[in-house]
Amino acid sequence: MKKHVFPALLLMVCMSMQLVPAQQKRLLGDHVDMSLDFKDFHNTYFFADKLASFDPATAKGTISWKRSSLFARQAFDVNTILPQDLTMLDFPGAAYQQNPELSFTVEFITPRTLRIKMLTTPVEPKPFDSPMLVKEPGKDNSWKYSKTKTGHLYQSAFGKVLIEENPFRIMLLDASGKMLTDTRRWKDNDSTQVKILPFNFIKKGVDNSREINPVFSLSPNEKIFGCGESFTKLDKRGQKVNLFVTDPQGPETDGMYKPIPFFMSNRGYGMFMHTSAPVTCDFGNTYVGANKLFMGDEALDLFVFIGEPKDILNEYTEITGKASMPPLWSFGTWMSRITYFEQKEGYEVAAKLRENKIPADVIHFDTGWFETDWQCDYKFSPSRFSDPQKMINDLKKDGFHISLWQLPYFTPKNKFFSEIIDKNLHVKNSKGEMPYEDAVLDFSNPNTVKWYQDKLAGLLKMGVGAIKVDFGEAAPVEGIYASGRGGWYEHNLYPLRYNKAVADITKATNNENIIWARSAWAGSQRYPLHWGGDAANTDIGMESELRGGLSFGLSGFSFWSHDIGGFVVSSPEDLYRRWLPMGFLTSHSRAHGAPPKEPWLYNKSFVKAFRESAEMKYKLMPYVYAQAKNCTEKGLPMVRAMFIEYPNDPGAWLVDDQYLFGSDILVAPMMQNGTSRQVYLPGGKWIDYQTGKTYPAGWNKIETEEIPCVILVRDGAVIPHAKLAQSTDKIDWSNLELKVYGDQTNSSGLVCLPTDNKLVQVEVAKKGTGYQVVNGLISGVNYLVK
C-alpha cells in the first residue's frame, strides 16, 4: 500500500492546484485587464434577471440576480462556455439568498443626464467624498413618468429611459424614440449558442469580492470615442481599452498615462463610469454587437448623457468639473530640454531666444536643477546656481517664467527619504511597511499634502511660474492609503490627488491655474494642463501623439500639449520641422526632450522655421486666448476632433490625423515627408491661412506652404490677431486686427481680453467693399477689420 501513497498525494496536490483561481500575472506597471476575471470558472455568476420591486415615484427598487455558474460545452471538437443555473451551496443556507434581490436606483440629474446605481451586496456603501466630482450632482424634475406594458418609462425633452421588468432591461432612447443602446439579456442570444454573457456581476472564488459587468448593445455603424489619452485608433469600436493608469513609455502602445472612465457614441449618448477601480471596456472587441464594461468595482455608479458631442462634454464636465483658465503667459513658447543644469544656461537660452527673435515665455528646468540629477530636494543646486532668485527676477523682467521639474517618489538616497518614513507620509503595504524601495507620497493623507505643498510654496514664492507634475502612474495597487482605501481604488485616483495638490498651492501662492502634468484621471481636467508623455522621435510617434490629444479632448480636457519633435533622442531635423506647426497650433507649446532642442543648434534655416511657427501663434494669441476661455465655459477641447463641430457630417467622424484648433481653424499636419496631403473639409468652404486659396467641402489634395502644414480657416470666421510681440506680456490688446475669411455677408468670431476674462462675440457685416463691426465692440479696444 505504501508504494501508492506518493502518487495519491501527487494527485491530491494537482487537484488542489486546479482549485486555485488563475491570477493575473503582470509586470509592475502593466495595465490590468479586468475581462480576465469574468472568464474564471471558479467564480459565481449573477445575471440581472428581473425587477423584484420598483417604486415609480422614487425610481428605486431591487433587481433579482439569478445565480449561475460557467461550464465548458463541447460541440464538434470546439469548447464553448455555457452558463447553468446554480443551486446555492452556501452554508448555512437560510442565511443567504439563492437569487439575491439588490438595490437599483435611477436618478435624474438634468434633462440630458441620468444616473444608474446598482449594488452587488445588501450593504449600502459608506458616504465617500469623491474627488472625481466637482459637486454633488443635482436633481431634475422635468422627467415625466408613465407605465408601459413591459415596465416603466421616464421622458425628458431630450430623451427617454425605459426600464423593463421581466426580463430586466434598460433601454435608452432619444426624444424621437430611436433606441440609442440597451442592456443585453439572455434572450438576445440565439437558441443554439451563448455568444455573449448578459449584464452580470461575479463573486470571486479567490476572495468572495465582487465585480460588476454592465453589458450594452452596439448598433451597426456605431462608433465610440473617449476613454482618455488613448493613442490607438480614435474610434474605439472593435478595441479593448484598459482604464488603468500606467507609464506606457510613450504614445506608441495601448497603455495610457491618462485613462478616463468616460466615452461617447456617435448615436448620441455618452457614459461616465464613476469609479476609480480598474475598468476594461470591450467595445465590440470580442463580440461586435456588445459593449462590455468589465469593472473592478463592487457597485455600479453610471452617469448617462444624451445629446450631440458638445452637449455630452458640457454635461460630463458639469459633473466632474471644467478646466480652469490658465494664465496668458502659459500659451506662449516653452523652451526646454532634458536638461538644463546651470543658472548660466537659463540666461543663455533666454538671450538666444531674444537674439533670434523667437517669441517665448517660459524656460523649463527639468531633472537637473538639484545638486544631484533626478534627486528632488526642492532646492537649486548651490554649486551651479549662484543666485537663483536673481535669475528668476532677471528672466521675468525679460518676459520669461520659470518652470521646474519634480516627482512624488523618493529613493533611499534622497535627503527626505527618512523624514517621509518617520512622519508616515508614504503609501504603506499590508504590513504597514514599504511596498517599494522608493517612498511614494500618499496624497490621500492631508499631512502629506501639507508637507509637500510647503516644499513647493518655497519655490513658488521665489517667483517660479509652474511646477512640472511628472510621473504619478506608479501608486502601489496593493498599497494601503490614509483614505482608508486600498490601492485597488486609490491607484487610479493618485494622479488626480497629485494634480490637485500642485494646482491648489500654485493657485494659493501665485493666483494662477497652471501645472504641467503627465498623468490624470477623471476630474484632473480642473487642473490644467497635461502633456502627452515621452513620444518617440518618429513619424509614428507624431501621429500617435495627435490621436492621444484628440482622444483626451473627447474626454473632457480643454488643454493639452506634447513635446515638439519628440522626446527620446535627438530630433531629426525634417521631423522637427513638420512637428513645429502642430506644436504651435496646440493650446500649449513646448519644445522638450533629448538635446539638442534649441533651434540655433541646428542651422539658420531651422531657426527661421521655428521662428515662423512661433510668430504665427503669437499673432494668433487673441484667437487662442478667446477660444481657450470658451473651452473653459463649455468643456470643449482646444485640439478638437472635427465631429464636435460637425456632428452631422459622416466624414468628420472618420478622420483622426487632422483636427480643429478651436472652432474656426483646421490643422492637417504632415505626418510624413512631402509637400501635399489629402485633407477632409467638413461643412462648407475653407480658406488657406497662408495663401488665401479657397477649398470646397470634402476631400482635397492641398499643398503645404512656407510653414509645412495645411492650415485652413472656416468660411465666415473672424480671426482676431495682434501685432507680433516677443512675449505675451508685451502684446498690445488695445489694437486688434480682425481678419475676415470667406465672402459671407455676416461673419463672427470671439475675443477675450486677459484683463477681465470676459468672452465677447464679435460680428461683422459687409459694407460696400469692406466690413463693419455690428456687435462686440469693447471699450478701449480698436478694431482694424480686414
Q: Which active-site residues does the annotation give?
A: 470, 473
DSSP 375: -
280: burial class by Cβ within 10 Å (0-12, 13-18, 19+)? buried
Torsion of CA 433, 436, 438, 440, to 10 degrees: -70
Beta pairing, strands 735-740 & 782-785? parallel
Residue from 290, 120, 280 nearest 212 by CA: 120
In whole angstroms, what separates CA 412 from the centre of its chain? Answer: 33
Q: Helices 604-619 and 621-634, interaxial angle, to 10°?
A: 60
CA–CA dist 226, 214 (Å, integer): 18
In 10 A of CB 779, how many CB atoms? 4
Backbone phi and psi for residue 765, each to the nearest 5 degrees, phi listed first: -130, 150
DSSP 99: S
Rounded to whole angstroms, what are the CA distances from 553 to 127, 304, 558, 771?
31, 19, 6, 35
Residue from 674, 762, 664, 748 nearest 711 by CA: 664
CA–CA dist 558, 591 (Å, integer): 20
DSSP 563: B
SS3 (DSSP) at 345: helix
Rounded to whole angstroms, what are the CA distances from 741 to 665, 715, 737?
11, 6, 13
List, in order, residues 6 or more apart from 117 with CB less than 8 Å away: 103, 104, 105, 106, 107, 299, 300, 301, 302
Torsion of CA 269, 275, 278, 282, to 10 degrees: -20
SS3 (DSSP) at 683: coil
